[in-house]
Amino acid sequence: MPVGACNWPLAKPLVKPAGRVLASFAAFSQCALSTLVLAEHKDGALLPNTLHTLTAAKQLGGAVTVLVAGGVGSTTAVAAAASKADGVTAVLTAEHSCLAHSLAEPAAGLLGAVQRSRKYTHVLAPSSTLGRNVLPRAAALLDVQAVADVVEVRDERTFVRPIYAGNALATVQAVGEGVRMLTVRPTAFAPSATGGGSASVEPVSPEEMQAARDAAGASQWVGEEVCKSDRPELGQARVVVSGGRALKSADNFSALLDPIADKLGAAVGASRAAVDAGYAPNDLQVGQTGKVVAPDLYIAIGISGAIQHVAGMSSSKVIVAINSDADAPIFQIADYGLVGDLFKVLPQLAAELSPNK
């Protein structure tokens, strides 16, 4: 039986007598805990949100294995980086053309096959576009309920996740049968240290790879439109400058926000209202249905502070709000606020940020 595998009495839903439920949980806790983490990578580099997810995996306890899947020749450098991360005990690699573009179907098929053959107690993925696309599909294949957007690990079966657009935190407990599958909000966990580790690296089995090819089915990669930018990635930036509908046009959005972002070395974000109005592309949206960010500095310009937006940026270390409405909800969570006409304030701010000042 693979390392980390165990046979433990399965706890049924709440209709089971309490004593037997507790006995099942006790048996589970005595199993050799083991976690599989789905790595996210791009252009041969391990993305930081995987390191944040590894921290959550280490809090669960037990051995931690990282699964690196991608196109032919794309996993070598990523696997080497993952093997050196603190707490990682093993790295699995999977290379095939069907995995080259992170299509959900083959990736979920692979994840499910690896879990069925190796019997991990937990499977984790970052709560990113990739993780939210792949992990629920794999959970369905394994007939278990996934827990989404975990922000705290209490123990091996108890987790905390936001609900009601982040206005409340729910403590949930996995009581059903099977593996615990979680997507982890990267901003809630510190990144795992890199360097110093020496985990083993090996490919997945032919049977596991075949499952990925079979799961691909009729899905195929068609293409993508990539926006090139010299600015930091929105989800990883230390400083984020976001604009709202009060900027009134796409031209104003760029003309007023870009100079400030360039001088601060910041990423540019947008509220859903600004995106819906066509001022900014979808990939810049910050919020519950966009990207969740937690930079050192978040500057909200012309953003009222709707619940949907606050859910995506409330974990920022310092929040600065600029709005003409003194009663805007954004000021309730801001560390610093400026009430004023943004069309007058922003040019002055850009001038003050000039290297000559």
Q: Does residue 286 have a known ligand-binding role?
A: yes
Q: Does residue 53 have a known ligand-binding role?
A: no
| Kind and range of the H or E run holding 184 | strand 180-184
DSSP one-letter code for 193: P
Q: Does residue 340 have a known ligand-binding role?
A: no
192: which residues sit within 8 A by CB, 6+ positions away?
Answer: 51, 52, 54, 55, 58, 85, 86, 87
What span, in angstroms and rounded, lies between the C-alpha atoms of 105 and 111? 10
Contact, 279 vs 218, CB < 8 A? no
DSSP labels for 101-156? T--HHHHHHHHHHHHHHH--SEEEEESSHHHHHHHHHHHHHTT--EEEEE-EEEET
Query: How many other CB atoms sit within 10 Å of the CB of residue 258?
Result: 14
What span, in angstroms and rounded, lies between the C-alpha atoms of 144 and 174? 10
Length of the chain: 357
Q: Does residue 323 have a known ligand-binding role?
A: yes
Look up residue 165 and give its two tokens.
């657009």
Contact, 298 vs 316, CB < 8 A? yes
Q: Does residue 71 have a known ligand-binding role?
A: no
Q: Does residue 309 have a known ligand-binding role?
A: yes
* Closest by CA position to 140, among listed 108, 173, 94: 108
Q: Does residue 287 have a known ligand-binding role?
A: yes
Residue type, 135: L
Q: Does residue 322 have a known ligand-binding role?
A: no
Q: Does residue 299 have a known ligand-binding role?
A: no
Q: Does residue 77 have a known ligand-binding role?
A: no
Q: Does residue 304 have a known ligand-binding role?
A: yes
What span, in angstroms and rounded, lies between the C-alpha atoms of 59 and 152? 9
Residue 157 sits at the vertex; the CA angle it makes with 152 and 158, to the nearest 5 degrees, is 40
Place of tokens 């209709």: 15
Q: Does residue 236 have a known ligand-binding role?
A: no
Q: Does residue 211 have a known ligand-binding role?
A: no
Q: Does residue 285 have a known ligand-binding role?
A: yes
What span, in angstroms and rounded, lies between the C-alpha atoms of 235 and 33? 31
How distant, in Å, are the alpha carbons of 95, 105, 121, 230, 286 from that of 258?
40, 38, 47, 12, 17
Q: Does residue 333 have a known ligand-binding role?
A: no
- Residue ranges for the known binding site for FAD are 245, 271-272, 285-289, 302-309, 323
> Would you list which residues are annotated within the binding site?
245, 271-272, 285-289, 302-309, 323
